[in-house]
Amino acid sequence: PDTVRLLSSSQVITSVVNVLKELLENSLDAGASSIDVKLDNYGLDRIEVRDNGLGIKAADTPVMAVRHFTSKICSHDDLERLQTYGFRGEALGSVCAVAEVSVTTKTAEDDISIQYVLNFMGQIVSQKPSHLGQGTTVSVLKLFKNLPVRRQYYSTNKKCKEELKKVQDLLVAYAIIKPELRLTLVHNKVVVWQKAKVADLRSALHATLGPSAVANLLPCHYHQEQPEIFLDGYFPKPEADVSSTSSSHPDKTFIFVNNRPVHHKDIMKLLRQHYTAQYSEDQAQNRYPTLVLKVTVPPSSIDVNLTPDKTQVLLQNKEAVLTAVEALLVSLYGYQCD
Residues 114-173 that bind ligand ADP (CB under 6 A): 136
Give the C-alpha separation, 304 to 299, whole Å.
10
Cis peptide before 179 (omega within 30 of 0): no
- Signed CA dihedral, 308, 309, 314, 319: sign only: negative
Contact 263, 312 (CB under 8 A): yes
* Identified binder of Mg ion from the candidate list 65, 91, 262, 297, rule CB under 5 A: 91
The residue count for binding Mg ion (CB under 5 A) is 3
**Rounded CA gap, 235 and 154, in Å?**
36
Rounded to whole angstroms, the Cα distance separating 313 from 301 reads 10
Of the ranges 83-91, 111-119, 245-253, 268-276, which one interacts with ligand ADP (CB under 6 A)? Answer: 83-91
Binding flag, residue 30, ligand ADP (CB under 6 A): yes
* DSSP conformation class of 250: G
Task: State which residue, 92 or 207, has the beta carbon closest to Mg ion.
Answer: 92
Q: Which of 14, 5, 308, 37 is nearest to 143 (CA)?
A: 14
Q: Which of 68, 81 has the CB closer to Mg ion?
A: 68
In the list ligand ADP, Mg ion, none, the entry touching 15 (Cβ below 5 to 8 angstroms by class) is none
Q: How far is the CB of 69 from ligand ADP (least distance, A)?
A: 6
Q: Is residue 103 within the footprint of Mg ion (CB under 5 A)?
A: no
CB 297 within 8 A of CB 258: yes
- Nearest distance, CB of residue 272 and Mg ion, angstroms: 32
Count residues near ligand ADP (CB under 6 A): 25
CB 103 within 8 A of CB 115: yes
For Mg ion, the closer of residues 47 and 91 by Cβ is 91
Segment interacting with ligand ADP (CB under 6 A) among 47-55, 176-184, 210-218, 303-311: 47-55
Using the rule CB under 6 A, is 261 a contact of ligand ADP? no
Q: Give the distance from CA 313 to its chain's centroid.
A: 13
In the DSSP assignment, the letter for residue 336 is: -
**Interatomic CA distance for residues 34 and 28, integer angstroms:** 9
Residue 330, helix vs strand vs coil: helix
Residues 6+ apart with CB under 8 A from 28: 35, 53, 85, 174, 178, 181
Determine, following the binding rule CB under 6 A, whether residue 35 of this chain makes contact with ligand ADP.
Answer: no
Q: Tell me 281's DSSP state.
A: H
The reply to whether 70 sits near ligand ADP by the rule CB under 6 A is: yes
Q: Which is nearer to ligand ADP, 77 or 200 (CB)?
A: 77
Whole-number minimum distance, CB 40 to ligand ADP, in Å?
A: 20
SS3 213: helix
Q: In the window 9-28, what residues touch Mg ion (CB under 5 A)?
A: 26
Rg (CA), the chain: 21
Closest to ligand ADP by CB, 298 or 308: 308
* Cβ at position 28, least distance to ligand ADP in Å: 9
CB 101 to ligand ADP: min, Å: 11
Q: Which is nearer to ligand ADP, 51 or 163 (CB)?
A: 51
Query: Would you tell me which residues interact with Mg ion (CB under 5 A)?
Result: 26, 86, 91
Query: Would you tell me which residues interact with ligand ADP (CB under 6 A)?
Result: 22, 26-27, 29-30, 51, 53-56, 60, 64, 69-72, 86-93, 136
